[in-house]
């Protein structure tokens, strides 16, 4: 198989839980050869796909895992850059070290994976990179500002890479999930200390976030859309997979005058 047929070799980062696991399982069902990654693959039961070790913060493990898949399969057709974490806290309460940590994982980690897979994709003049961003990339969300920053970075990274690679027939796509029921809530980086100045509004914002996550969607719905994107010959630059108020708020941001939109957003967090 040379990657032009329907069965593709797919690498999904962060496939030990949440969206990544749902994506990997859905792609197995679609007949693809799927490799997932985790920092501790040995800690996870067999989920129906091969789980390899990769720590996005450690370039050597990224390169070694990509090399292993290439050795096994001779190619990687699709990469889903999914691994990532959230971060919460008033910007003033988060340390520069915490800012560097989330930047290193959500943005530089994805860059490490791209650098590892791109030589092979360019050479074969075929490939698809799906970067998992977030609906949060569209706004500077209060008390989740650094998360918004990293995901906005993912979107801009996608746009630039997409143009750089167009001549090599390698496609690059951003996908922005809304809220899906995963471990994202418990895995979020948190401030070491919450200042009294922000406490009430920060706690209210986290309460709001917690209750909306409680009603959030099944990760399998997101995986379904990923499977469809992979099946397309010419995928769009961006897919927003969000419903209701999340989807509407992106539209309002572009339609309303800046101050009016900001007022609505601030009111939501009051
Ligand atoms: N859930 C949502 O509502 C939502 C919304 C928008 C965007 N997203 C994005 O979707 C992606 C997946 O999140 P999720 O909600 O599925 O969260 P999750 O359930 O917490 O899964 C996160 C995955 O990332 C992996 N990971 C964490 N740190 C890593 C590191 N240093 N190196 C390699 N892998 C690492 C974890 O694997 P190990 O711990 O096994 O290494 C895990 O498989 C993230 O990029 C997130 O920002 C999620």
Q: Is residue 118 part of a domain?
A: yes
Residue nearest to ligand 1 atom 6, measured at CA? 134
Atom of ligand 1 nearest to the CA of 14: 43
50-53 and 9-12 strand pairing: unpaired
> Domains in the chain: how many in total?
1
Q: Is residue 141 part of a domain?
A: yes
Is the distance from the beta carbon of residue 23 to the nearest atom of ligand 1 less than 6 Å? no
Alpha helix locations (H) across 82-195?
96-103, 109-124, 145-166, 184-187
Q: Is residue 16 part of a domain?
A: yes
pLDDT tens-digit profile, the chain (270 residues): 444 568 999 999 999 999 999 999 999 999 999 999 999 999 999 999 999 999 999 999 999 999 999 999 999 999 999 999 999 999 999 999 999 999 999 999 999 999 999 999 999 999 999 999 999 999 999 999 999 999 999 999 999 999 999 999 999 999 999 999 999 888 999 999 999 999 999 999 999 888 876 668 999 999 999 999 999 999 999 999 999 888 999 999 999 999 999 999 998 887
What amino acid positions are annotated as catalytic residues? 16, 133, 147, 151
How far apart are the C-alpha atoms of 86 and 217, rounded to whole Å?
17
Q: At what angle do helices 244-255 and 258-268 cross, to 10 degrees?
A: 150
Cα 104 to ligand 1 centre (Å): 14
- Among 36, 54, 182, which residue has the most ligand 1 atoms within 8 Å of its CB, making it the best to mutate? 182
Q: What CATH number has the domain bearing residue 166? A: 3.40.50.720
Q: In sequence order, what are the residues at sequence separation of 6 or more whose Cβ sits closer than 8 angstroms to the Cβ of residue 5?
A: none
Q: Is residue 250 part of a domain?
A: no
**What is the separation, in whole angstroms, between the first and last Cα of the chain?**
56
How far apart are the C-alpha atoms of 197 and 222, rounded to whole Å?
38
- Among 14, 61, 144, 182, which residue has the most ligand 1 atoms within 8 Å of its CB, making it the best to mutate? 14
Using a 10 angstrom Cβ sphere, with 0-12 exposed, 13-18 middle and 19 or more buried, the burial of residue 244 is exposed
Q: Is residue 88 part of a domain?
A: yes
Q: Is residue 194 part of a domain?
A: yes
CA distances from 148 to 60, 76, 137 (A): 28, 30, 5
Query: How many CA atoms does the CB half-sphere of 107 hold within 13 Å?
Result: 19
Q: Is residue 267 part of a domain?
A: no
What are the two backbone dihedrals, phi and then psi, of residue 258, each rounded to the nearest 5 degrees? -50, -45
> Which structural domain, as residue segments, surrounds residue 152?
9-245
Cα 257 to ligand 1 centre (Å): 34
Q: Is residue 230 part of a domain?
A: yes
CA distances from 161 to 9, 158, 174, 193 (A): 21, 5, 11, 38
How far apart are the C-alpha atoms of 64 and 72, rounded to whole Å?
12
Is the distance from the beta carbon of residue 182 to the nearest atom of ligand 1 less than 6 Å? yes
CA distances from 150 to 21, 100, 132, 155 (A): 22, 10, 11, 9
């Amino acid at each position: 198989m040379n990657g032009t047929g329907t069965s593709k070799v797919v690498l999904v980062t962060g496939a030990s839980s949440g969206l990544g696991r749902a994506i990997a399982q859905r792609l197995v069902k679609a007949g693809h050869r799927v490799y997932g990654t985790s920092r501790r693959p040995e800690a996870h039961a067999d989920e129906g796909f091969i789980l390899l070790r990769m720590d996005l913060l450690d370039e050597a493990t990224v390169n070694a895992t990509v090399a292993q898949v290439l050795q096994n399969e001779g190619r990687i057709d699709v990469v889903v850059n999914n691994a990532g974490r959230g971060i919460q806290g008033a910007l003033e309460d988060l340390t520069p070290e915490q800012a560097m940590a989330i930047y290193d994982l959500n943005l530089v980690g994805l860059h490490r994976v791209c650098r590892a897979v791109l030589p092979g994709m360019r050479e074969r003049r075929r490939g698809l990179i799906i970067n998992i961003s977030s609906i949060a990339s569209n706004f500077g969300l209060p008390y989740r500002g650094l998360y918004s920053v990293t995901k906005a970075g993912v979107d801009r990274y996608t746009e630039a890479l997409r143009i750089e690679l167009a001549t090599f027939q390698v496609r690059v796509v951003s996908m922005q999930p809304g809220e899906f029921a995963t471990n994202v809530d418990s895995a979020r980086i948190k401030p070491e200390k919450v200042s009294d100045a922000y406490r009430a509004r920060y706690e209210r914002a986290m309460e709001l976030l917690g209750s909306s996550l409680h009603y959030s969607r099944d990760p399998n719905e997101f995986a379904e859309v990923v499977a469809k994107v992979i099946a397309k010959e010419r995928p769009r630059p961006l897919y927003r997979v969000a419903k209701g108020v999340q989807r509407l708020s992106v539209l309002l941001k572009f339609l309303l005058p800046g101050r009016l939109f900001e007022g609505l957003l601030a009111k939501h967090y009051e």
